[in-house]
Structure 1
Amino acid sequence: MAALIEAINVKRKMLFEHENAPYYCMESDVSTPTARGGQTLVRLKMRNLITNAVFEKSFKAGDKFKEPDVELVPATFLYSDGDGFHFLDQETFETFALTDAMVGDATDFLLENLEVQLTKYNGNPIGLQLPIFVDLEVTETEPGLSGASQSGSVTKVATLQTGLEIRVPLFIKEGEKVKVSTETRDFAGRA
């Protein structure tokens, strides 16, 4: 049987199950009453791991949540087609298809053979986690200026091989590979 977590013990970045769905705690705020006999309330900002919906809800401090059966497994992106995005589970060598909604804006980083972490809930894939950085090729950008310094303070727009547009320093040319942060979607250096 899964362990129970009291609402007052739910902290930022924790996973818990509420109304038969897995949630990720984005923020936790405990409000203790000043009057005697008042109840301590816990306000949670939480994201549903299946629908990605974010909302805030208050719970009594003693409310209990189950620990969700969520696991991260290494997987490789294979391809996308009309049925969705196909991944190969690196542990079981099964292939899984995720829908557009499950993948979300991660499509801007998906390249063939990219290694990701597949999020499974009760054994079924519900989403994915990208690596912190992804190397992508610049397919379109203005020509670099001769003598442009490598300080990177002045930038220009570059279109990457997945269609993602980011700002890069002036010295970056078409055909070069750049390192992009999957969290901030910013240029992080040459690859």
Structure 2
Amino acid sequence: MPRANEIKKGMVLNYNGKLLIVKNIDIQSPSARGAATLYKMRFSDVSTGLKVEERFKGDDMVDTVTLNRRFVDFSYIDGNEYVFMDKEDYTPYIFAHDQIADELQFIPEGGMPDMQVLLWDGQVLALELPQTVDLEIVETAPGIKGASASSRTKPATLTTGLVVQVPEYLTTGEKIRVHIEEKRYMCRAD
């Protein structure tokens, strides 16, 4: 069993008889000597979909669950449900809008490469995205000539509706690479 300090976002824990997917981890370093680092983890309960928050010390042992991962492509929307198809055997995996609301901020129309569905015992648990995605800027303030030397930023709305801070020299219509976990601009896309 791994320690709490080895847990990463996207892993699934068996905690108090419930399967919990790690959605976010905040690390709190103590100021006192000898105190243990605390890991505040936000989870999504697999069976109910409710958000759960727990705290662990870095050396606490936690029970992880081994998952089956399948590469998928976004297929279509059916009302409030999003259907993804397995790339190998074309099995459809269906998610309710609420299950993947955070992930939808990063999925452009037509989908994106390297998306994975997490399965456990035949049950669909979550949709996992790659680390980065390339999106187009649809709305931002006009670019300022010569602003590439400054480090000031401005908000930009992307094709999916996500708003990120971008350098002042970028303009509407440019493609940028976004770090999904941190929701931040990385660079211009190729």
TM-score of the aligned structures, taking structure 2 as reference length = 0.73
User: Is the Cα contact below 8 Å between 1:137 and 1:161 reproduced in 2?
Assistant: yes
Alignment partner of 1:169 is 2:167: yes
- TM-score, normalising length: structure 1: 0.72
- Alignment partners' CA distance in 2, 1:134 and 1:107: 12
Separation in structure 1 between the aligned mates of residue 98 and residue 76 of structure 2, nearest angstrom: 16
Change (3 A) 1:176 1:27: closer
Aligned length: 168
Give the C-alpha shift of residue 182 in structure 1: 0.5
Q: 1:70 aligns with which of 62, 67, 70?
A: 67
Give the aligned partner of residue 21 of structure 1: 18
* 1:47 maps to 2:43: yes
Kindly indicate whether residue 10 of structure 2 is the aligned counterpart of residue 11 of structure 1.
no
> Which residue number corresponds to residue 119 of structure 2?
120
Shift of 1:52: 5.6
Q: Call closer, same or farther: CA 1:127–1:169 in 2, change over 3 Å.
A: same
Q: Is the 8 A contact 1:83 1:97 kept in 2?
A: no
Find the aligned partners of 2:146 and 2:45 in 1 and give their Cα distance.
Answer: 48
Identical aligned pairs, as a percentage?
A: 28
Deviations 1:160-182 (A, max 9, x none): 00111111111111111000110
3-state secondary structure, aligned to 2:136: strand
Q: Which has the larger radius of gyration?
A: 1
CA displacement at 1:18 relative to structure 2? 3.8
The residue aligned with 1:90 is 87
Q: 1:94 to 1:179 in 2, by over 3 A?
A: same
Q: What is the correspondence of 1:31-42 to structure 2 with a 5 Å cutoff? A: none
Structure 2 unaligned spans of 5+ = 28-38
How far apart, in 1, do the equivalents of 2:96 and 2:150 lie? 37
Structure 1 residue 136 and structure 2 residue 135: aligned? Answer: yes
**Shift in Å, 1:48:** 4.0
Quote the Cα distance in structure 2 between the aligned partners of 1:64 and 1:139.
44
Aligned residue among 153, 157, 176 for 1:155: 153
Question: 1:106 maps to what in 2?
Answer: 103
Structure 1, gaps ≥5 residues long: 29-42
1:142 maps to amino acid: A
